[in-house]
Structure 1
Amino acid sequence: MEKSQYFLFRTKDIHSKGLVGNFDFPDIDSFDIQIHVTLVRSHKKNIPIKEGFYKRFVDAAASFDYIAYASSDTYDLSFRIVRFPISDSSYECIVTNLPSDEFP
């Protein structure tokens, strides 16, 4: 994202304990939604988070160059989560920063 490059990757479905398991999703099977996340590296309660953003903690073991561990700094991310059927009983879930107007 820092280099203005697009990404798209598969992730576990929304009902698993994977990357996208803790967001609020629409009550429908297929969707394409925009998610906004603020990354933090401190457990302090007074770190301001923008309205409509999810707060996610980045552990010390995770490599992340944009915020020093234990800092009160934040890093905002926005991306889409797209879920669609691949059979009668299973779904594919992807995370991307591609603009939604790229797809008809």
Structure 2
Amino acid sequence: MDESLTNAERKTLNAAYDILNGKLNEGEYWTFGWRWYRGHAKPSTDVSMFTAVLEKHISWLEGETFADKIANGMAMNAAERAAAPSPEEAKRLRIQRLRDQLEREEAA
């Protein structure tokens, strides 16, 4: 297996980076990984994210292709933003999440 990148592959990867960076909005967190586990027939990939408004962790995005997964995550962020609570409600929700976390920590 050739471990180096061709110039065309480098340009493609850098273009993909530029596209993804250009789509990133403040507060979004994305990660992706690829691996080939020993004993498995082929490599696997995953894309995960935290939504920008409610900071909901999505550990697996649906889609047949990498682009499908990214598009689905972007759609989730857009839908969340469209339904986003007012700043006051967002503050109330954040305080409630922190209280819930504190209760879990105290119970442990």
Shorter-chain TM range is under 0.3
Q: TM-score, normalised by structure 1?
A: 0.27
More helix by share: 2
